[in-house]
A = this chain, B = another copy of it.
């Protein structure tokens, strides 16, 4: 099925707005030039899995460019200082200048890592995000959050560095492993819950076609979900307020990943469980909320394991979240489907209550 080329724009101040193209990978080089990037040297960062599938097509799309390729090991462990230094060591001696674009071809790990490397080499190189996973296409590649993990927690070292261009080819999602697909759906559901009842209805009615990845349905879903992210980022680039809503389920989810060990749950599974906790707590903070539709949607996201950690350890782990302010955990909750709000956690008991709803 031929995909129409569509484009939305992330509206930012100071002429830093940028396009998100939903177009075939083959358009990469020409879209880069259209964005004012001058043909010449570029750095392409990817991982071994993505490289096997999409590097040849990417290089064809970059004909006429002098592409330096870095292929990193796949997986969350790559999102670390060692990989960052590896990129510095390979790229800095390569005769780059401040206009040399860095292309992040891959999922969230590559996007965050290569984006952060671009943010910090020569105090900022242009970055082109070419997300190849669902989570990256609807979430992580949009909005300029970049970074790496630290022993103390995820994403604790990083920078805001907006891309010059995002190119999302939804056809690449057809070959995504099932687990990653499900993980990405978690973010799609989250976007629907916090901001878009229409997307929630779409997901409800099309869930089967979503799960079998019918191309037209996938393309429509990705565009709707990416739009929500783009709008929220445009309204609040530096995560002052509105952007915090995107953390719905994440404050809980990050604690799960930290306590259960990264890897046991996918990020999406952790967020799915986190959303269950957040929904339970929403009823305590916004008792008038009818959570049935939201809960039904969240429960559709496949999660393989049950939590093994105690609510106490999970609550404790929430202290390290970046959104903690002056020692108080900040929560994103819903007061209606499509209407999220941020609140300070009133008491430790609330966290216990929320966790117990998930641990069962």
Q: Are B325 and A99 in contact (CB under 8 A)?
A: yes
Q: Which chain B positions have C-beta within 8 A of A238?
A: 124
A319 CB to nearest chain B CB (Å): 7
Chain A interface, number of residues (Cβ within 8 angstroms): 41
Assembly CA distance A53 to B267 (angstroms): 49
The one of B119, B123, B152, B324 that contacts A97, using a Cβ cutoff of 8 Å: B324
Chain B, Cβ-Cβ closest to A328: B97
The residue from B81, B98, B155 contacting A322, defined by CB atoms under 8 A apart = B98
> A93 — nearest CB in chain B belongs to which residue?
B152
Flag if A158 contacts B120 (CB, 8 Å): yes
Q: Do B92 and A123 touch across chains, with their CB atoms under 8 A apart?
A: no
Q: A319–B121 contact, CB under 8 A? A: no
The answer on a CB contact under 8 Å between A92 and B324 is no
Q: Which residue of B lies closest to A99 (CB)?
A: B325
Asked if A360 is at the interface of the complex by the 8 Å CB criterion, the answer is: no
Cβ of A179 under 8 Å from chain B: no
Supposing A121-B157, A124-B159, A156-B122 touch, asked if A150 and B324 sit within 8 A by C-beta, the answer is no
- From A38, A238, A326, residue with most partner B Cβ within 10 Å: A326
> Is residue A24 contacting chain B, with contact meaning CB distance below 8 A?
no
A40 & B326 in contact (Cβ 8 Å cutoff):
yes
**B147 adjacent to A92 (CB under 8 Å):** no
A38: which B residues are within 8 A, CB to CB?
Answer: 326
Q: Does the CB pair A85–B81 fall under 8 Å? A: yes
A326 to B124 alpha-carbon distance, docked (Å): 16
Q: Is the CB of B123 within 8 A of A326?
A: no
What is the CA–CA distance of A97 and B244 in the complex, to the nearest angstrom? 14
Which A301-333 residues sit within 8 Å CB-CB of chain B? 319, 322-327
CA distance A123 to B157 in the complex (A): 6
Q: How far is the CA of A69 from the CA of B153 in the complex (A)?
A: 22
CA–CA, A95 and B321, complex, Å: 9
The answer to whether the Cβ of A54 comes within 8 Å of any Cβ in the partner chain is no
Q: Which residues of A contact B (CB under 8 A)?
A: 13-14, 38, 40, 81, 85, 88-89, 92-93, 95, 97-99, 119-124, 145, 147, 150-153, 155-160, 238-239, 319, 322-327
What 4 pairs across the A-B complex have the smallest Cβ distances?
A92-B152, A123-B158, A122-B322, A93-B152
Q: List 14 A-B contacts (CB under 8 A).
A: A14-B14, A92-B152, A92-B153, A95-B319, A95-B327, A97-B322, A97-B323, A98-B322, A98-B325, A120-B158, A120-B159, A121-B157, A122-B322, A123-B147
